[in-house]
Amino acid sequence: MSPVQENLRWPRVSKFTLSACAATVAELVTFPLDLTKTRLQIQGEGGSQQHGGNVQPPKYRGMLSTALGIVREEGPLKLWQGVTPAIYRHIVYSGGRMLAYEQLRESVLGRSEDGVFPVWKAVIGSMISGALGQFIASPTDLVKVQMQMEGRRRLEGKQPRVHGVYHAFTKIVAEGGIRGLWAGWVPNVQRAALVNLGDLMTYDTVKHFLLRNTSIPDNSICHGLASICSGLVAAIMGTPADVVKTRVMNQPRDSNGRGLLYKSSTDCLVQSVRKEGFFSLYKGFLPTWFRMAPWSLTFWLTFEQMRRAMGISSF
């Protein structure tokens, strides 16, 4: 039985579960870097640095400074604040995107006659699967971002907006209705499509390039090299959309659920560049990369080993 036939034989729920479990492990290992990245990206947006009519300098000036500041002022466990909805998100997002990509690769788009999955098909498959998975998981991402910012709000003397995952969901629905759960979904999906393009397409392409053109066997070394490349490309492509997404989702809203700072993701993009310069779109790039690299490494190594343990052929 060929690897393609073997992959199609396995129930979709098994593949979804393996992807979700591997993503959960990666999320727990690297979540403090995600919190650090979010705090850095929020700095500088409208209203966050206004105090008594005066512009306040940024509180954090780097990844290490941000992480140490959180530990010193809020406690080490706050580095995992918001990890619960983050795990919920990855169960839906990573499980969905991996399953969708594999189905597109093996059944819908199809490989070439020589068994190679062309790069252009990998681009299409990775962007579609990422966008689909993120759209479904967008409500959990909104809750995650809001919970990550609660520590900073308390230090600034502001009342907490949410007190837990359930309260965050109910508060969002009460203020903006069901549609409020998908606030910021456009930049969310755009980011996911770009990140998936960098992650899935790069990993799949680099891994099989190494297997075809080098003597490296299909083992952890091959998986590690491919995952390092995928983490870097994903960070480069996804950071601008991630900055816009984070700011749109974290902004205060009126009684109708409309944002008070930005009218749309495009408006947020234009305001950020006009007020803070182009490189404001790459705020938090280093923590994004430093997180994506170990996240990608942890996820792909765990995922490939789980597939092997379950008797499923290598991805």
Q: What is the pLDDT of residues 170-181, one digit of tens each?
A: 888 888 788 888
Which position has the token pair 């591997």?
22
CA angle 84, 138, 103 (to 5 degrees): 100
Question: What is the predicted pLDDT for the residue at 241?
Answer: 79
* pLDDT mean over 172-193: 81
Q: What is the mean pLDDT of residues 12-32?
A: 89
Spatial separation of the C-alpha atoms in residues 49 and 59, rounded to whole Å: 9
Q: Return the closest-CA partner of residue 122 out of 242, 285, 233.
A: 233
Nearest to 28 by CA among 311, 305, 302, 313: 302
259: closest CA among 246, 272, 269, 250? 250
Looking up tokens 């066997």, which residue turns up?
217
Residue 132 has pLDDT above 50, yes or no: yes
pLDDT at 122: 93
pLDDT value at position 5?
A: 52
Higher-confidence residue of 37 and 198: namely 198
Whether residue 55 is predicted with pLDDT greater than 50 in this model: the reply is no
Element (H, E) at 50: strand 50-51
Query: Positive or negative CA dihedral for 250, 66, 189, 181?
Result: negative
Could you give the CA distance from residue 234 to residue 101 in angstroms, rounded to a whole number? 16
Q: What is the mean pLDDT of residues 160-170?
A: 77
**pLDDT, averaged across the chain:** 82
Confidence class of residue 3 from pLDDT cuts 50, 70 and 90? Answer: low
Model confidence at 249: pLDDT above 80: no
pLDDT for position 242: 78
Q: What is the pLDDT of residue 169?
A: 82
H helix intervals, 159-284: 165-176, 185-196, 202-213, 220-250, 265-276
Q: Pull the structure tokens for residue 242.
A: 């991630």
Query: Residue range 81-98: average pLDDT?
Result: 86
Q: What is the pLDDT of residue 113?
A: 83
* Least confident piece of the model among 8-12, 161-165, 285-289: 8-12
User: Which tops the pLDDT comparison, 207 or 314?
Assistant: 207
Q: Which of the pair, 112 or 41, is modelled with greater confidence?
A: 112
End-to-end, the C-alpha distance of the chain in Å comes to 16
- Give the residue-averaged pLDDT of 102-131: 90
Burial 163-198 (b: 16+ CB within 10 A, else e): eebeebbebbeeebeeebbbbbbbbbbbbbbbbbbb
More confident residue, 127 or 141: 127
Phi, psi of 68 (to 5 degrees): -65, -35
> Alpha carbon of 96 to those of 19, 128, 140: distances in Å?
8, 11, 14
Can you tell me the mean pLDDT for 268-273? 89
* In the predicted structure, residue 58 carries a pLDDT above the cut 90: no
Pick 209 or 183 by higher pLDDT. 209
Tokens of 236: 């480069």
Angstrom distance (rounded) from CA 59 to CA 75: 17
pTM of the complete model: 0.73
CA atoms in the 13 A half-sphere facing the CB of 200: 33
Hey, what are 190's tokens?
């755009």
Residue written as token pair 């991805």: 315
> Which stretch, 45-54, 126-135, 260-269, 283-292, has highest mean pLDDT?
126-135
Q: Where are the alpha helices (DSSP H) in the chain?
A: 3-9, 12-42, 63-74, 83-103, 119-148, 150-155, 165-176, 185-196, 202-213, 220-250, 265-276, 285-310
pLDDT at res. 24: 93
Going by C-alpha positions, the residue among 17, 19, 27, 24 that lies closest to residue 294 is 27
151 pLDDT above the threshold of 90:
no
* CA distance linking residue 25 with residue 297, whole number of Å: 11
